[in-house]
A and B are shown apart, each in its own frame.
Chain A
Amino acid sequence: MEFGTKSRKKLITTNKVKDYRYPHHLQLYTDPPTETISLQEFEELAVERLKVLKAVETIGITHQKGTEKYNQLLEKEITATKFKECFIRKRNLSLEEEIENRKRDHMSHFILRLAYCRSEDLRRWFLLQELDLFRYRFQLESSQSRVEFLASNNLKYKPVEKDEQEEVTREMDGLDHLTNSTNKEFYKVPFTEALDLVRNRKVFLRDGYAYVPQEDLVSILLSLFRTQLSHALVVTSRALPNMEEDGRLLPMLCGLSKRYLGQDYGVKKQNVGVVTAEMIELLSKKSFPLCMQNIHASFRQTHHLRHGSRLQYGLFLKGIGLSLEEAMKFFKAEFTKSMDIDTFDKKYSYNIRYNYGKEGKKTDYTPYGCMKIIMNNPPAMGDAHGCPFKHFEAEFLRQRLSSLGVSKDGVDVVMKYTKGGHYQVACAKLFELTHGINDTNSEVEMVIQHPNQYFENSQKLLNGPVKTAKTVKIVSSQQNSQASVANGSQVDVKTEVMDDEMGDDLDLNDEELNMMT
């Protein structure tokens, strides 16, 4: 038996395997699969990989990536899916099993590419989760295996010579990551190939070259992967119309992508015009998330909004059902308190029509989600946009929270999440506190993914059919999955089980969060 495992292990690294299509346990998914699979298998692979990606997302929101807790939780979640042997190697597999796993990894990735290439938001979500998954899997590999993987992807960087190394070490004295590291081997890489490290000032730069420490090579790999995948997703989305003839696949793919990103909160026919300019003031107090309340207040105060705020707020209002005419009325009334109508018409009305797809590229833009607001375009001097939990100074946020009537204990809890970088959890807690769902000490039951989701949930609670607060389901993907089941499409009923799992893991996270702080 023992002999058997040894020889299997050997087999995997022999040249024979390297010639095969899957030379390494990890892959960058450059070529699409060509095999034939059954529809059933197609869907199963997709659903299972989605479970993994969803876990990557939720754990990434509540825990700092790369920490021990994060890795543990992720391992637990992945072990619960059918990809456990594929992503987490606990035992030695036979060559056939290993290859089969790599194949499943490969195919499931490409199926989801099809499902998640259709809009920018979908692509962004998929890209983000795939990158995090890759980073997680890469750090599980042995250092030998990592080097092999680099080589198999033609990233043949050489360490710098001794003299140069010493010189660089002297200069690099100031770099963070060197403090705990004894391995001072650097790889000289054109800075354009190490952009993430450059962005965060994690490398020493000289004359256009980044001096990358060995342990940071993964970042280069990730940026390569990101570039390739983001390009491939765009190309795939263009090719998608060709698939429309196949009536079996497309509905399934649409269902898949809807199930896990939540709604896109674009304008739905039935809600256009349900909100008028006059209603905004009142709604803003009752149902707007803090980020929108903040822009609204700033707008009322200064009678002006800068570009970032006009987009973030304008699209949000569109999403809650403000028609173009009403939006124009609303913005005009406020802007013209500080400028004449001519200036408004000339400079700002364009922007409002643009939001509604009437100008420029004529795209019907969808409202920004939380990830976009948190990650992109941080506010500068004079800006009111952004995510208050991420971009406000702690003291200021505290004041804002108490001014909303949140108790001191409540403020402390929200601030605790904010401090840990769990902005969306903090926002959810604020929702619960201001809507009287739970008291300060209970765990957060929902995640806010989108300002419009916050608004809709709030409205449902305030105006919805008579239900006790506790029974209202709030997690967006739950609503979606239920909705799609109700529509009677081919969607698997397994989703409900997954939803429960998701709820579980959130509870768990919070317990652990409490322990950590």
Chain B
Amino acid sequence: MPDDYNPEALPDLLPLYYKRLFPYGPYFKWLNYGGVPKHYFSHREFSFTLKDDVYIRYLSFTDQQDFEKELQKKCPHKIDLGAVYSHRPKDQKTIKSTAFLAQEKELVFDIDMTDYDDVRFCCSGADICRNCWPLMIMAVKILDRALREDFGFQHILWVYSGRRGIHCWVCDETARTLTAQGRSAIAEYLTLVKGGETVSRKVILPDKLHPSIRHAVDIISKYFLEYIVKKQDLLGDEEKWKKVIAMIPYDQLKSVLAEDFVTVGTNTSTRWAIIKQRLQNAKEKLDLYKYPYVKEEIMLQLCYPRLDINVSKGLNHLLKSPFCIHPKTGRVCVPMDPEKIDDFDPEQVPTVSGLLEELDKVDLVEDDQGKKFRDYKKTSLGRYLDIFDSFLKGLESSRKGKLIEQSDMKMEF
């Protein structure tokens, strides 16, 4: 992808993006949820971040046209989506605060690469690269499985945030109507890595593994060696391996390993083999062994998804909308297919400047009113829109199923 995106040009690019590229149709179709209930779109809170970080909350729009018009007028640098409220959010000031209530929202998850800074050595902060991206791949696979198989959710939209994180929108009706308690229960069920900077051992497993943890370990196992050896070289030097050794709850073993790493170990893969062997030996002496899953704990602490739990818990918490432009990178916030997540490359995600250039080369076509336009689906945004479309189809078919079910029920009476 062209890397020639220049953040300074954003104010000039945004009007064109919102006029020519933003996928209004599918976007509205998503948030309207088939118009059941009717106010679903118009009671939704949007918030815009304008130039110079001017932040406006409690915006709302009556329909697609209204939304289109405002978006093109305001050209926000960032769009956030909030909850569906009891009243129109834009009337918020005129309604008693006790009556203005957040009622529904997708169940959302936010995973940010900065939360992995203590276990990745390639970059830190806002940067990501091929060497830490596998963390996101594992996160998608682990969460997607749990959400589908454990919780029975079907309509899950995964989105790349445009820079250093990923978002997940669970759009099933049961997810949208969850209480704050339900949300936090799910988020905590999915949280394993706990504790701040003062805690070096952040995953502690009970004597018996919950099936969901077993599945997570299985998924991590597929990537683990490749990731720690080739991508991160996690046991490559003393500074790095100190952190891993600190995760082991036996002082004796710690010093033994520190010695082994220098005398026997030559690189990350031999050192990992040493850890495994030493833990196995300790396991066989049962009386010494209080924690049976230290190896798994290490793997999970290094690779298990780290959720920003507060984003998921709150019904009224805002999250960046899909199809925004990330102001720093210029990349579009695009949907990802969890089935093909291994092939997803964040560096291949189109930028706003690249897309506009592409669009100029697309042939003109006529719409039904004879107006000429260029089809944004023909640009490299197209394949991400296909992912979005198939997500929308899933939503629609479940709605139809439900309607049929309902009318069947009526027939009986």
Contact = CB atoms under 8 A, between A and B. Distances in A.
Interface stretch (B12-20, B181-189, B263-271): B181-189
Contacts of B179: 192, 227
B149 interface: yes
Given A201-B189, A209-B152, A238-B98, A172 B211 contact: yes
A383 B306 CA distance: 15
A4 interface: no
B195 A393 contact: yes
Interface stretch (B197-205, B281-289, B379-387): B197-205
A225 to B, nearest CB: 13
A195 interface: yes
B208 A196 contact: no
B206 interface: yes
Given A174-B208, A179-B208, A208-B151, A378 B194 contact: yes
Interface residues of B, number: 43
Nearest to A203: B210
A377 B196 contact: no
B207 A199 contact: no
A176 B211 CA distance: 11
A172 B53 CA distance: 50
Contact of A192 (B98, B114, B150, B178): B178
B348 interface: no
Contact of B182 (A171, A192, A382): A192
B189 A199 contact: yes
Nearest to A238: B98
A361 B196 contact: no
Contacts of B213: 174, 201
Interface of A: 171-176, 179, 191-192, 195-196, 198-201, 204-209, 223, 227, 238, 346, 361, 377-384, 386, 391-393, 396-397
Contacts of A392: 198-199
B140 to A, nearest CB: 19
Contact of B198 (A179, A206, A208, A396): A396
Interface string B33-55: 00000000000000000000100
B212 A205 contact: yes
**B contacts with A: majority SS:** loop
B209 interface: yes
A198 B186 contact: yes
Interface in B104-157: 114-115, 117-118, 149-153
Contact of A174 (B98, B189, B209): B209
Contacts of A196: 185
B197 A381 contact: yes
B85 to A, nearest CB: 15
A382 B197 contact: yes
A374 to B, nearest CB: 14
Nearest to B184: A199
B174 interface: yes
B212 A201 contact: yes
Given A192-B178, A195-B182, A209-B152, A381 B117 contact: yes
Nearest to B307: A380
Contacts of A201: 189, 210, 212-213
Contacts of A198: 185-186, 189
Given A199-B185, A207-B152, A396-B198, A381 B210 contact: no
B195 A379 contact: yes
Contacts of A380: 115, 195-196, 306, 308-309
Contacts of B98: 238
A391 B198 CA distance: 8
Nearest to B152: A208
Interface in B213-241: 213-214
Contacts of B252: none
Nearest to A201: B210
11 contacts: A172-B211, A191-B151, A192-B174, A192-B179, A192-B182, A205-B189, A223-B181, A227-B181, A379-B195, A380-B115, A392-B198
B188 to A, nearest CB: 5
A302 to B, nearest CB: 11
Given A381-B197, A382-B196, A396-B199, 16 more contacts: A174-B213, A176-B207, A176-B208, A192-B174, A199-B184, A199-B185, A199-B188, A200-B188, A201-B189, A201-B210, A204-B211, A205-B151, A208-B151, A378-B194, A383-B197, A392-B198
Contacts of B189: 198-199, 201, 205
B94 interface: no
Contacts of B194: 378
Contacts of A381: 114-115, 117-118, 196-197, 306
A391 B196 contact: yes
A227 B178 CA distance: 13
Nearest to B206: A176
Contacts of A172: 211
Contacts of B53: 346
A171 to B, nearest CB: 5
A397 B199 CA distance: 10
A383 B196 contact: yes
Contacts of A206: 149-150, 152
Interface string B340-351: 000000000000
Residue in B117, B149, B181, B213 whose Cβ sees the most chain A Cβ within 10 Å: B181
Contact of B196 (A207, A227, A379, A397): A379
Contacts of A191: 151
A388 B114 CA distance: 23
Contacts of B208: 173-176, 179
Residue in B115, B151, B186 whose Cβ sees the most chain A Cβ within 10 Å: B151
Nearest to A298: B197
Contacts of B115: 380-381
A304 B306 CA distance: 22
Given A238-B98, A381-B117, A381-B196, A393 B201 contact: yes
Nearest to B151: A208
B218 to A, nearest CB: 13
Contacts of B114: 381
Contacts of B277: none
A233 to B, nearest CB: 14
